[in-house]
Chain A
Amino acid sequence: MNSIVILNTLVIIAIIVSAILTVKFDNLLSSIIALAVTGSFVALEFILLHAPDVAIAEAAVGAVLSPVIFIITLKKVKEGKER
Chain B
Amino acid sequence: MILVNYIACIILIVLGFYVILTKKNILKIIIGMGLIDYGINLLIISIGFNPGGTAPIFTFTELKPESFFVDPVPQALTLTSIVIGACVTAMALSLVIKIKEKYGTLDADKVRRLNG
Contacts and interface: CB of A to CB of B under 8 A. Distances in A.
Nearest to B94: A73
B25 A77 contact: no
Interface residues of A, number: 39
Interface of A: 8-9, 12, 15-16, 19-20, 22-23, 28, 31-32, 35, 38-39, 42, 45-46, 49-54, 57-58, 61-62, 65-66, 69-70, 73-74, 76-77, 79, 82-83
A45 B4 CA distance: 12
Nearest to A20: B15
A83 B24 contact: yes
B89 A69 contact: yes
B25 A58 contact: no
A69 B97 CA distance: 12
A44 B16 CA distance: 20
B38 to A, nearest CB: 5
B114 interface: no
Nearest to A55: B45
Contacts of A57: 79, 82-83
Nearest to A82: B25
A38 B85 contact: no
Contacts of B57: 52-53
